[in-house]
């Protein structure tokens, strides 16, 4: 907190000094006598005047601005010998130049700082990935925690270096918006054992990029080493001695989420069994529920809401409308990423009809 406050005042001080110095330098260049160069307002903390007829340099208590006081007949008497040095006696273009010099100096400072930052460069994390989100495109493609993406290709023949994690995410996003798949050249964290990974982004068909879309892609956060050894470095021995055990919580993967989903659906099956209705959920429907109800931040917490929204509520409505009744077996499936419900008898009849149709074709 203290460092942040000090950095704020330092930055503000630099801006004020550069701003007022712009006024000062142009005023001197135009032949205007500058009486005082002040940084801040209020009570004077420091004052220096190198020559009796020179500019008084002042630092005041409130560092929220500054000013340059120039010789001006409108603010006091001016001797005839100094009339040529008065601000109000200068031509309009010179006065305008003096006034505009402060903002212009800040603009030049910004250009200089951005140029230096561009020349020096900005450190960015390399494309070393953490664990991919469960049930995401990256996980299905076989990406693992600690994978280092070395290059990418949109056509599978021309490869481009992945300069950083930001560059990789940008290229993946652009490929998704164009409706194209992308190939990644991936190695282990140490840089050996290269392999090729194909991300099927065309199936996402997203017109806009949001957090949900990036979750479905599944490129995780940057890889970070375990920091359990930092506990002793960060806490006093008296506190560390009171710790009985250190428990590491790992991110849930697709297998864990599916197990939780099966448990939740099992509770629904028991409730329907009391109504003499049997429920069967296909693997496709289970996978779709997992993709909807899993969040890398909240884990499996949204899963219960997804089951209620996608299965329980629509199914309850159809039961109330008489589409399903006692003794029915309801099949839950996913067709084109949409949860659908069918009776087992109707499903079997449809399969039989399709099989007979295929047999009757010449």
- Go through the domains of the chain in sequence order and give each one's CATH number: 2-120 (no CATH), 125-245 (2.30.42.10), 254-360 (1.10.8.60)
How far is residue 330's CA from residue 328's CA, in Å, rounded to a whole number? 6
User: What CA–CA distance (Å, rounded) separates 347 from 313?
Assistant: 22
pLDDT above 90 (res 233): no
The pLDDT of residue 33 is 95
In the chain, the largest separation of any two C-alpha atoms, in whole Å, equals 116
pLDDT of residue 343: 87
* pLDDT over threshold 90, residue 19: yes
Average pLDDT over residues 177-190: 88
Per-residue pLDDT at 243: 74
Regarding beta strands 278-281 and 329-335, do their DSSP bridges make them parallel or antiparallel, or are they unpaired? parallel
Q: What is the pLDDT of residue 100?
A: 96
Lowest mean pLDDT among 15-29, 139-153, 291-305: 291-305
State the catalytic residue, choosing from 20, 254, 310, 342: 20
Q: What is the dihedral of CA 316, 317, 321, 325, to 10 degrees?
A: -20
Tell me the CA end-to-end span of the chain in Å, nearest whole number. 81
Provide the whole-model pTM: 0.45
**Model confidence at 349: pLDDT above 60:** no
Q: Give yes or no for a contact between 289 and 311, defined as CB atoms under 8 angstroms apart.
A: yes
Transcribe 263-287 into DSSP letters: HHHHHHHHHHHTTT-EEEE-HHHHH
Concerning whether 75 is annotated as a catalytic residue, the answer is: no
Separation between Cα atoms, residue 153 and residue 14, nearest integer Å: 46
Cα distances (angstroms) measured from residue 336 to each of 73, 167, 171, 203, 285: 82, 32, 27, 11, 10
């Amino acid at each position: 907190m203290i460092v942040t406050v000090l950095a704020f005042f330092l930055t503000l001080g630099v801006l004020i000094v550069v701003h007022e110095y712009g006024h000062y330098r142009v005023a001197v260049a135009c032949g205007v006598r500058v009486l005082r160069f002040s940084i801040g307002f209020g009570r004077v903390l420091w004052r220096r005047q190198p020559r009796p007829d020179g500019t008084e340099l002042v630092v005041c208590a409130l560092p929220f601005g500054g000013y340059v006081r120039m010789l001006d007949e409108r603010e006091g008497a001016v001797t005839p010998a100094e009339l040529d040095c008065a601000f109000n006696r200068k031509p309009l273009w010179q006065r305008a130049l003096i006034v505009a010099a402060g903002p212009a100096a800040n603009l030049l400072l910004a250009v200089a700082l951005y140029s230096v930052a561009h020349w020096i460069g900005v450190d960015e994390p390399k494309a070393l990935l953490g664990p991919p989100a469960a049930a995401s495109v990256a996980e299905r493609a076989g990406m693992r925690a600690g994978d280092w993406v070395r290059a990418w290709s949109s056509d599978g023949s021309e490869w481009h270096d992945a300069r950083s994690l930001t560059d990789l995410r940008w290229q993946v996003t652009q490929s998704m918006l164009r409706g194209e798949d992308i190939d990644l050249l991936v190695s282990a964290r140490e840089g050996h054992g290269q392999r090729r990974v194909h991300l099927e982004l065309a199936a996402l068909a997203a017109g806009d990029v949001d957090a949900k879309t990036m979750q479905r892609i599944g490129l995780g956060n940057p890889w970070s080493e375990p920091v359990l050894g930092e506990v002793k470095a960060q806490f006093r021995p008296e506190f560390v001695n009171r710790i009985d055990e250190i428990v590491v919580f790992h991110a849930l993967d697709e297998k864990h989420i599916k197990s939780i989903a099966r448990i939740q659906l099992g509770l629904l099956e028991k409730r329907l069994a009391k109504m003499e209705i049997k429920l069967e959920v296909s693997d496709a429907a289970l996978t779709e529920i997992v993709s909807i109800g899993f969040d890398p931040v909240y884990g499996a917490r949204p899963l219960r809401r997804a089951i209620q929204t996608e299965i329980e509520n629509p199914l309850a409505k159809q039961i109330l409308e008489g589409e399903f009744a006692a003794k029915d077996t309801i099949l839950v499936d996913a067709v084109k990423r949409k949860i659908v419900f069918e009776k087992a008898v109707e499903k079997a009849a449809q399969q039989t009809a399709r099989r007979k149709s295929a047999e009757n074709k010449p």
